Amino acid sequence: MEGQRKKVNVESYSDVSKLGQLLKDVGFPDSKSKILQKLWQGEDFQNKENILRALINLEKKLYNNFSDVTTSAGLVYK
């Protein structure tokens, strides 16, 4: 219904938040390889193993936005 929020299940709010910070400069739409390439450049990945594992397992396709990435990575379930 209009005006109601969609219910989503989040695997780990801290991982989704960290991923949001990591992807803040990604211009969507973008491919898996470009997203990973941008993340590797100059980032400290200490304590982000879950995020990297999820992103490495993404399908090779074009991602339209942050929500598309988190859902495909299995961090958010709709």
pTM of the model: 0.78
**What pLDDT shows up at residue 21?**
85
Rg (CA), the chain: 13
Taking only the tens of pLDDT, the chain with its 78 residues reads 565 555 567 778 888 888 888 888 889 999 999 888 877 775 666 667 778 888 888 999 999 999 999 999 988 887
The residue ranges of every structural domain in the chain are: 25-77
Residue from 3, 4, 24 nearest 69 by CA? 24
pLDDT on residue 47 = 64
Helix, strand and coil content of the chain, in percent to the nearest 5, comes to 45, 10, 45
**The pLDDT value given to residue 5:** 56
